[in-house]
Structure 1
Amino acid sequence: MFYFVPSWYQGNRKWYMEAPLWFRVIENLTFDDAVNQLKTFQAAGEETMMLLLGYQPHLRYFLHRQDILSTPYWSFFDEIQNIQSKNTKVLQVTDLTWPQGARFVYTPFALLVKIGDERIAEVHFAENGNLLKVEYFKENEVTYHYMFDDRGFLSSILYFSDGQPSHQDYLNERGVWQVREHLAEASKLITVNPRADQEFFQLVYESWDDLILEKLFFFKRLRMTEHDYLVMAVHEQHNRLLLDAFEQQKKVLSFSGDRYSLQEGSDLKRLAQEGDVLVVDSEKNKLALEYSLSQLGTSAHHVSKVTPFDTRLRLGRSQTIKELIIYWQIDGASREDYLQTLQVLLQLMEENPLIELDIVSYERARNMKALESELIALLQEKYTLERFMEVSEEAGENQLEEDQEMTLSSIRFHTFTNENQIIRQLDTTRLVLDLGQVPHLYTQIASISAGIPQINRQASEYVTHGENGWIVTEIKDLTEAVAYYFDGLTNWNRSLVSTVQKMGDYTSGRIIDQWKELLENKG
C-alpha cells in the first residue's frame, strides 16, 4: 500500500487548522502535489491511504472540494479523540442548549444570541454553511469557544482567561475531554485525561510532536509492513517525525514549488540519504535540488521530475462550440500592458465575430467593476457598440430607445478564488492568455491538463513555443499568436495531442511503474 502524507498546515498554532469563517475565505490558487499524486495512484488501481497529522475539524469539506472524499485516511486527532464517525450529519443551532429567554439576532456576519440586551454568544458558520464555532461571553468578555466537527458533533472547547486562550480540550463524540493542550504556559504541555478512551504511554507530553510520534509508531506496528511505501510532501514541520517513525519503509519525497527551502532546510541532507526517490515538479527545481545536495557533500538516490497535471480537469470541449473563447488572466501585468493588450484583443474581436473574451483575476482586492465601467466607456468612444454590447434584458419594454441600458455581450469579467471555478471556465475555453512577467503556475497547469494552448510573455518549461503554446516578446505580436490557434483547428489540435501524450504517463501508470522499480531495486 502507498501511504500519502500531505502538508496541509497553516496558522499560528503548529498542528491546528481551523476552517475560516465564511466571509473571510480567501482561497489560494495552488497546485497540491499530494492530491495529484494520490489520484494518479488511485487511477492506476493502487491501494492508497492518507496519513493526516493536523487538527482539521472541517476536513470532509476540504476533501470534497479536492474530489478525494472517498479516499481512506488515518487522522492523528481522530485517533487521540477516539472518533469513530465516518458519516456526516447536519448540526443545527437549535440543537444546542440555550438559556430560557435567549433570542437570536441575525447579522450579515454572525448569529448573535442575546438575553435582553446582553450578548451571551456568537454563532459562526463555515463557507459550506455548516456550524463552525460558537463563542460564549460573560459580561461582554469571551469565556470559551465551542469548535464543531463537520460530521456533526462538538469537537473541542477552547477556554479563555482574562481574554486570552488558556487551554483547549479535545473531546470524544460523547463530549468527554481526552487530551488537553495548555496554551498559556511557555512550555505548551499536552496532558491526557487519566480516564481517556485510548491508550497513552504517558499522561503528560512536552509537545504535540512527542505524542504524534508515539501514535505513528503505534499505527505502523498495527497497520504497516516493510513492503508498504510512504509518499510524503516534504515540509519542515513533519519531516523529522516521519523519517523517525518510518525508518523501514521505502519513501518517495516530493519537493513542490517553494514549500521547502533548499537553502535553509535544516534536514535536507537527511532527506536525501533516507529518501529512496526524490520527486520535483520542474527542471528548475531539479537543478536547484541537485546543486544544494552537492553543496552538502551528498547526493540523492534518484531525482524524478514529474510534470504536474490536475486530474480534476478533462480535455476541453471548446472545439465543439462555434465561439472562440479567450481566457485572459490579467494578474501580474502592468497597467500599461493591460491597456495595450486590451486594444489588440478588441481589434481582433471586431475582425472576428466569433471571438469572446473572459477577463479573469484571482485577486479579491481588484476592482473588476471599475475595469468593466472603464471598458464600456472605451467601447462607447472608439468601437462599434453592436459588436460588443446588447440591450439589457432588464430594460423595460416601453423604455425610450435613447435611454436603453446596454450591457456587455461578448466580454465577461470574473474574480475566481478557487480551482474549481477555473476548471469550470476552462471547459469551453479555446485559448489562455497570461502576459504577466511570471505566468501564473496553476493557470499553466490547468491549461495543460485541459489541452488548451496558452500565450505567455515569459518562457517556461511548461509551454513549448509552437507546440502547446506561444511565447510573445512584444504585445504587438499577440495578433500573430492568436491567429496561429484560431485560423483553423490544425495548430490547436497539435496542442491537444501534445497534452494527451504527456498525460499518458499518468493514465497508463508508467510513472508509478518507474517509481516502484526504483523503490524495489534500491539497496
Structure 2
Amino acid sequence: MIYLMADWKADTQLDTDRIYHLSQFFTEEKLDHQLVLSGHVPNLLYKLNEYGYHQDNLIRVFDLLQGVERLSGHPLTIDELDIPSEYDRIYSPFGVMLWHDDRMVGYVIFDDYGFPTRVMFYKEDGAREEHTYDSRGFLSSIFYVNSGNVLVQRDYFDEFGRLRIHVDDTGFYLDGLEFPSQEAAVSMMLQAQLADGEDENVLISLSDETTLEEIKKLVEASKVKVISILSDKEQVHKVLKHKDVEMVIDSRVDQLPEALEAGHYIPIFYPELELGQSSEAPKLEIYAHFSKMEREEFKQLNMLIQKSSAKEDIALFVELEDPSQLDRVELMKREIIETHFDVDMDSDAYKKTEKYIVSKLAKKLFNSDLEAVKPLKETAQWPRLVGAVEAGLRINFADKNGLGILESKLDQVRLYLDLSDHYQIYRHAQVVSAGVPLISRHKSDYIRQGKNGIMLPESDLKLEEAIDHYLVNLKQWNEALVEAVDLIEAHHPKDIIKKWKELINNGEK
C-alpha cells in the first residue's frame, strides 16, 4: 500500500500543499493509496469539503488515539455549546463575548464558515480554558493555560465526551497508559497500521526533519520503502543521510547539485490545459502579485499604476500578501490619478461623475444622475473627470490573497507579474495552464525565456520593457500562448504517473 504522510495543521492551505495535490493526482490516475494525517485537526471536515476532497482513503491517526469513530457530522451551533445559561452574550462582527458579574468570562470564536470553533473561558486569576470543537459536532479538546500564559495541560475527548488523552508536564497518557511523547503514541498507531498485510508498504512524505525522524522509526519496525519529497532545498543533506530514502524533487530551480544528481525529478504542481478568454476581454489586464511592499516594490507599483492611468486599454489588478499595505497603495493610486488628470477626487464634480459612470455601467442610470452631470459636460474639465473615474475603476486591489483570487481572475488576465520575494511554483503552473505570459523576478520551471514569459534575473529587459514586449505586440502574446500549450503537453499526467509508478515499483513499469 502507498501511504502519503500529511502534516496538516488547522491553518494549512491545502491548495498549495504538495501531499494534498499528490493525493488528488493519484486519485485521478486511479493509483490506490491512503493519506495518513497524524496531527489533531478538528476543523478538517470543513477543509476537505471546501476543496471537494473525498476522505474514503484518509487515516486520521489522532482520531484512532482519541477513539473517535465518527467520519462525518455537522458542526455545532452556539446554542449547542456547553456555555452556562447565566452568561450574557454580546455579539460582535468577530465573535461573541460572554459576560457575568460585570466582567468578561469568555469569548466564542467563529471560523471562516460561520460556525463556533473555539470557546475561551477566563478565570478571575488570569488563567483560561480553551475549548475546541470538532467540525463533526463534538467537544474535541480542552487546553488549560495558567495565569502566566503557559500551557500546562491538554485533554482530548472522543465523540461521546469521554476523556481519552491527557497531557501534562509529566507525560502523554492514552487511556491511562503513559508514552514518552505524543509522537511516540502516533508512531505506535502507525506501526499497527503498517503491520497489516505482507506486501511492502511505501511511505511518501515531505522532507522536514521531524517527519524524516518519525519515518525512520517506522522503517526500523516495519517493511517500508520511503520516498521523501524535497520541500525545502536546504534539507537535502538531511534527506541524503538517510541512505534508504529515495528523494524526489518537483522543481529544478536553484537546487543544490546534490539534489539534482540524487533526486528523481517528478513535477507535483504542473500546468494543465485551462485556457482563459483574455484575448476577448475589453481591456489588457495585468495581474501583479506582491508578497511585500518595500522601496523597490513601491517603485514597481508606481510604474504600473501610472501606466494603467495613462493608457485606457490597460487594466491593473494587484494582489498583496500583506493586507496592512492596502491603505497605503490605495493612497498611491489616488495621488497618481489626481496628478495625472489634474482632478480632486473629493470634489463634488468628481463624485457626480463617478456616480454617473458607475450607474451607466450597471445600467441603472436615473434622470437625476443625468441632470447632475449635465453642466459638467459643458466644461473643459469633463474629459479629465471621466478619465480619472475610468482609471480608478480599471485599477483594483484584492482585499485578500491566495490562489482562489488568482483562479477567479485568470480567465480575463492578459499578463501575470510575479513580483513576490519567493518562488511559488504552484502559481506559475496555474498561470501557464491559462496560457497567460508570465514575467517573474525568479527563475521558473515553467518559463521558456523570451517565449511564454521572461525571467527578469536572466534578461536585459527592465520590468516595463518586459510588459510592453507582450502587451504592445500581439504577435509576441500569441507566440507565448502557443509555447504555453507546448509546455502543458510536455507535462502530461500519463508521463508523470509513469514516473511515480516506476519509482514506487523499484524501476518496474
- Tell me how far apart the structure 2 counterparts of residues 100 and 30 of structure 1 sit (CA, whole Å): 41
Counting only pairs closer than 5 Å after superposition, residues 54-453 of structure 1 correspond to structure 2 as 54-70=39-55, 72-139=57-124, 141-162=126-147, 164-182=150-168, 185=169, 188-194=170-176, 203-222=177-196, 224-246=197-219, 247-258=222-233, 261-262=235-236, 265=238, 268-270=240-242, 273-275=243-245, 277-284=246-253, 286-290=255-259, 300=262, 303-309=263-269, 314-331=274-291, 335=295, 338-339=298-299, 342-343=302-303, 346-347=306-307, 350=310, 353-366=312-325, 368-383=326-341, 391-392=354-355, 393=358, 397=369, 399=372, 406=389, 408-435=392-419, 441-453=425-437
1:3 corresponding residue in structure 2: 3
For normalisation by structure 1, the TM-score amounts to: 0.79
Segment drifting more, 482-491 vs 40-49: 482-491
Distance 1:426 1:106, change over 3 A: same
Asked whether 1:455 is paired with 2:439, we answer yes
Distance 1:289 1:143, change over 3 A: same
Distance 1:133 1:380, change over 3 A: closer
Shift of 1:310: 5.9
- Tell me how far apart the structure 2 counterparts of residues 152 and 39 of structure 1 sit (CA, whole Å): 27
- Tell me how far apart the structure 2 counterparts of residues 476 and 252 of structure 1 sit (CA, whole Å): 43
For normalisation by structure 2, the TM-score amounts to: 0.81
**3-state SS, counterpart of residue 133 of structure 1:** strand
Distance 1:455 1:110, change over 3 A: same
Shift of 1:105: 1.3
Shift of 1:251: 2.8
The equivalent position to 1:497 in structure 2, one of 473, 485, 488, is 485
CA RMSD, 1 decimal? 3.5
Distance 1:33 1:253, change over 3 A: same
- Tell me how far apart the structure 2 counterparts of residues 486 and 424 of structure 1 sit (CA, whole Å): 24
- Tell me how far apart the structure 2 counterparts of residues 443 and 383 of structure 1 sit (CA, whole Å): 35
User: Gapped runs of 5+ residues in structure 2?
Assistant: 344-349, 360-364, 377-381
Aligned-pair identity in percent equals 21
2:89–2:99 Cα contact (<8 Å) kept: yes
Shift of 1:399: 4.2
1:286–1:305 Cα contact (<8 Å) kept: no
Segment drifting more, 477-486 vs 410-419: 477-486
Segment drifting more, 230-239 vs 72-81: 230-239
Shift of 1:338: 4.3
**3-state SS, counterpart of residue 430 of structure 1:** strand
User: Gapped runs of 5+ residues in structure 1?
Assistant: 9-16, 21-26, 195-202, 292-298
1:434–1:455 Cα contact (<8 Å) kept: yes
Distance 1:30 1:181, change over 3 A: same
1:359–1:413 Cα contact (<8 Å) kept: yes
- Tell me how far apart the structure 2 counterparts of residues 108 and 373 of structure 1 sit (CA, whole Å): 26
Distance 1:456 1:522, change over 3 A: closer
Aligned residues: 473
- Tell me how far apart the structure 1 counterparts of residues 257 and 268 of structure 2 sit (CA, whole Å): 18
Deviations 1:467-512 (A, max 9, x none): 22124532352354224664575314213313321331x2x2x222
Deviations 1:280-299 (A, max 9, x none): 122246544448xxxxxxx8
